[in-house]
Chain A
């Protein structure tokens, strides 16, 4: 659905090279076009559908990683889908999409929340921070660096959520003992079981804070 929307590139090329995501996206679009209908017919058929769909759209403006964004969206769209499919910020991962795994954790107004259970239309004037927004230029955020130092991930799918949660846990400052950190991080599941290393990473950052 999203790949057919105007104005959504999906991050096709990076510095003139085709990215993996861009390649798969374009390949899928081409094969779908060949298999189903000639491109011209597809465009013609899309017009009335688009006009009808626009009827229920709602305008919303909020900031993502400091940049103002304006969207005209169906109220059903979650912040998670808006980030990934409309704004091209695919660092935020969709795990369960039900508020149970924490893989999609981002910050809204500097508080960690779950964008899979947040309607994007409800974010008028709010500030959202994603994994793409925490590094300082080429310098990684201390939590990002600590995850690398301690091997805080294996497959990596939960990692951006783990890091966004950990950044908030360090900032909140309430969790200090190992058990308190585990409790504070319990909303972020890791099926690879990198928990001990994630704990070590967080403790490294906290040690640097003192």
Chain B
């Protein structure tokens, strides 16, 4: 690990004042410390934000508000989250391990870096880590890579599960900078790689996520998260789907669907949502709607299986949440 200096401010303003070129915020450390050991990240200044007053999980003004420093395990086990937003709780509990969920913060989870092996290996080229150096995943080992949103510069997936649930529920992040707060829909917060895969989101170097806001809705109460992976537990998604449904007398009134493991960012599936609305909640409706999930998919040599797997994951998640066959 490269040498760095360390500061542990006690207020958000102080933390923001300490930012400078080469600084990085430390929350749970499960991404930052890992990538510092690998020399993938080499900050000169580490600003420990764990003492900042960014806690709390509460309902107010029609929103679930989660302080950015709440740990994954605390959010997953919170009664309000479990009752009103089961998809959030489930996505969190299917992530990582018990130890990591006790460490990782919600804000940090949203900013976790990709698990692409080329990104994590400093001896390999990677446009995300070293812009312009190339993307070996295009023709190399790409079984776990993205089929949606990728470019010739990058096909790395976004690894977060809960971000998929948040995008489905149209969550927003509250970002604080030296000039004050701004509220950004999470779906727009993440950027497509294009020719600049090193820029992953809208967060400025002197900004901090302070809160996540999720609108309360009847949809969110009837929601779930389905994650398909190579191991039953403690593994990243090959495909995953967050689904929220509103049904009346067996007909889909409204739906929210997003997918993980397949996109360069959490992938909202609006065409699938539209195809469900007004139709009977049954397997035929679900499988017809799922066809449009992979419009524009760009599979690589080893991950074409995700095209079929994603559609099947969507159908099964819809069957589960609708309680139909």
Given A117-B34, A186-B233; A75-B103 close (CB under 8 Å): no
Q: How far is the CB of B130 from chain A (nearest CB, A)?
A: 21
Binds A, one of B4-12, B140-148, B260-268, B284-292: B4-12
Q: Among A75, A111, A187, point to the contact of B97 (Cβ < 8 A).
A: A187
> Which chain A residues border B5 with CB–CB below 8 Å?
56, 75
Q: Please determine whether A124 and B102 come into contact, CB atoms closer than 8 angstroms.
A: no
A117 to B31, CA, bound (A): 8
A56 to B46, CA, bound (A): 13
Q: Among A76, A102, A119, point to the contact of B26 (Cβ < 8 A).
A: A119
Q: Among B48, B77, B96, B98, point to the contact of A168 (Cβ < 8 A).
A: B98
**Interface residue? B251 (CB, 8 A):** no
> Which chain A residues border B123 with CB–CB below 8 Å?
none
A-B contact count (CB 8 A): 81
Q: Please determine whether A119 and B8 come into contact, CB atoms closer than 8 angstroms.
A: no
Given A102-B99, A112-B99; A187-B6 close (CB under 8 Å): no
**Interface residue? B23 (CB, 8 A):** no
Q: Which of chain B's residues has its CB closest to A56's CB?
A: B3
A78 to B36, CA, bound (A): 12
Q: Please determine whether A105 and B99 come into contact, CB atoms closer than 8 angstroms.
A: yes
Q: Please determine whether B26 and A182 come into contact, CB atoms closer than 8 angstroms.
A: no
Sample 24 A-B pairs with CB under 8 A, ordered by A number: A58-B6, A74-B3, A76-B3, A97-B37, A98-B37, A98-B38, A99-B30, A99-B34, A114-B100, A117-B30, A117-B103, A118-B29, A119-B26, A121-B48, A165-B98, A168-B98, A172-B98, A174-B77, A183-B232, A186-B98, A186-B233, A187-B96, A187-B99, A187-B234
* 8 Å CB interface, A9-65 against B: 56, 58
Q: Among A76, A111, A113, A121, point to the contact of B1 (Cβ < 8 A).
A: A76
Binding site for B on A (CB under 8 A): 56, 58, 74-76, 78, 97-99, 102, 105, 111-114, 117-119, 121-122, 124, 165, 168-169, 172, 174, 182-188
State which size class the interface on B falls in. Answer: 20 to 34
A118 to B4, CA, bound (A): 15
Q: Which of chain A's residues has its CB closest to B73's CB?
A: A111
Given A98-B37, A118-B29, A122-B29; A112-B98 close (CB under 8 Å): yes
Q: Which of chain B's residues has its CB closest to A125's CB?
A: B51
> Which chain A residues border B3 with CB–CB below 8 Å?
56, 74, 76
Q: Which of chain B's residues has its CB closest to A185's CB?
A: B98
Q: Please determine whether B103 and A122 come into contact, CB atoms closer than 8 angstroms.
A: no
> Which chain B residues border A97 with CB–CB below 8 Å?
37
Q: Among B8, B37, B77, B96, point to the contact of A122 (Cβ < 8 A).
A: B8
Q: Please determine whether A118 and B33 come into contact, CB atoms closer than 8 angstroms.
A: yes
Given contacts A105-B99, A122-B8, list 19 more A-B pairs with CB under 8 A. A56-B5, A58-B6, A76-B1, A78-B33, A99-B34, A102-B97, A112-B99, A112-B102, A114-B103, A118-B103, A121-B8, A124-B8, A168-B98, A174-B77, A182-B233, A186-B97, A186-B232, A187-B98, A187-B100
A184 to B193, CA, bound (A): 35
Q: How far is the CB of A80 from chain B (nearest CB, A)?
A: 11
> Which chain A residues border B55 with CB–CB below 8 Å?
none
* 8 Å CB interface, B7-48 against A: 8, 26, 29-30, 33-34, 37-38, 46, 48
**Interface residue? B201 (CB, 8 A):** no
Q: How far is the CB of B201 from chain A (nearest CB, A)?
A: 22
